[in-house]
Structure 1
Amino acid sequence: MAKNSAHARALSSPRAFHLLMNLYPPLLFTGVRVRHVAEDWSSVRVSHRVRAWNRNVNRSAFGGTLFAMTDPFYAVMAAGQLGGGYRIWNSKGAIEFLAPGYDVVTATMRLTPDEAAAIRARVDDTGRSVTTHVTEIRAADGTAIARATQDLHVRRLS
């Protein structure tokens, strides 16, 4: 019950989610910071500052951290927009490394209200929805350094 209560508190508002995610140990200890969560749950922006204690042997952003920048956010945006009554999870994820990332890297994930409505309609029609979402992680100069892909699986709770 406590787990569901904590989950409900985290999703009670974008502001609460923003604050709690910045304290979430897997993100906190890797240096990933949530910078913005849209009031309608349609976008999340995160950043990561590459430092001596969180970089790889090539002095660039560690690949696992780059993927962690995108991992939970599509599911959370879907939950925020769809509301209760759904089971939502990432069923598949991949990352393609395009260039080394130094200093500060950022990612913006977007799930538009129209996309959320299409997911809801698909679940209502077929019982489930699987959608693919792609996020580019960018260096401060705008260069794409990685492309993360996630499949978002949504079903109604029975």
Structure 2
Amino acid sequence: MSEKKLARRARLLRLGLNFYPPYVGAGIRVRAISSDFRHVRVRMGLGWYNRNYVRTQFGGSLYSMTDPFFMLMLMQLLGRDYIVWDKAASIDFVSPGKGPVYADFHIDDALLTDIRTHTAGGDKYLPQLHVEIRDGSGTLVATVHKTLYVRLKPRARQAA
């Protein structure tokens, strides 16, 4: 896919996610998706709609702000020959989110090579990724651990 098409797809995805009702309702904003889909930055403010009983970020909203991004990024980076699904997730709460929080997602060449190597024979692969949620001063609020399911589609397995 050309760089222009990929950049356009990144802009459209960012726009669509920023109008996605669950994200609007939770105060989640996708701040940036790089034109090569290797970096995503997400922000969530603190308001009455995502505040818990002790007036800090609601844990479900913290997880929600991280939910689809690794899967979406890998779908774009690996292409149509791969199945990419979220398989499992966990979140470790470290400190209270008392204001806006941010999550930065990164995919590097080493991960892509690792996935392609493990799936080349048609096997499934379950990469484990994590993203940190930090507040505006850089304090760690939570770490989200994601396990994805990645596999070549049957037609791609037959072609190989």
What TM-score, normalized by structure 1, do the two folds share? 0.89
SS for the counterpart of 1:52 is coil
CA contact (8 A) 1:106 1:139 kept: yes
Is 1:96 paired with 2:92? Answer: yes
1:1-158 mapped onto 2 (5 Å cutoff): 13-158=9-154
Q: Where do 4+ consecutive residues of structure 1 move more than 2 Å?
A: none
SS for the counterpart of 2:131 is strand
For residues 65-90 of structure 1, the C-alpha deviation after alignment (integer angstroms, 9 at most, x for no partner) is: 10011110000110110010211111
Give the distance between the partners of 1:123 and 1:47, measured in 2 at CA.
33
SS for the counterpart of 1:13 is helix
1:155 maps to amino acid: R
User: Aligned pairs, how many?
Assistant: 148
SS for the counterpart of 1:130 is coil
Give the distance between the partners of 2:109 and 2:74, measured in 1 at CA.
9
Q: Aligned residue for 1:6?
A: none
2:44 maps to amino acid: H
More strand by share: 1
Give the distance between the partners of 1:79 and 1:96, measured in 2 at CA.
26
CA contact (8 A) 1:81 1:113 kept: no
Which consecutive residues of structure 1, in runs of 5 or more, have no partner in the other structure? 1-10
CA contact (8 A) 1:22 1:28 kept: yes
Structure having the higher Rg: 2
CA contact (8 A) 2:122 2:152 kept: no
Give the share of equivalent positions with the same residue, in percent: 33
SS for the counterpart of 1:151 is strand
